[in-house]
Amino acid sequence: MKSLLTKVCWPILRFFESDTAPDNYQKSHRMALLFLSVVFIGLSLGSAWVALSIGSLGALVPVVFFFLLGFVALVIATLGSDAAVAKIWGTK
pLDDT digits (tens, 9 = 90+) for 56-92: 888 889 999 999 999 999 999 999 888 888 888 875 5
* Global confidence as pTM: 0.84
Residue 56: CB atoms within 10 A of its CB come to 10
Cα 79 from Cα 6, distance rounded (Å): 6
Which is it for the CA torsion 23, 28, 29, 34, positive or negative? positive
Do the beta carbons of residue 6 and residue 79 sit within 8 Å? yes
Of 7-11, 13-17, 19-23, 81-85, minimum mean pLDDT range: 19-23
> Which domain covers residue 84, as residue numbers?
24-89
DSSP state of 59: G
Is residue 14, in this structure, part of any structural domain at all? Answer: no
Residue 45: CB atoms within 10 A of its CB come to 14
Is residue 13, in this structure, part of any structural domain at all? Answer: no
Give the pLDDT score at 48: 92
Is residue 85, in this structure, part of any structural domain at all? Answer: yes
Is residue 15, in this structure, part of any structural domain at all? Answer: no
User: Which residues are CB-contacts of 42 (< 8 A; sequence separation ≥ 6)?
Assistant: 70
- Whether the predicted pLDDT of 6 surpasses 70: yes
DSSP-based three-state secondary structure for 49:
helix
pLDDT digits (tens, 9 = 90+) for 22-55: 777 788 889 999 999 999 999 999 999 998 898 8
Number of domains in the chain: 1
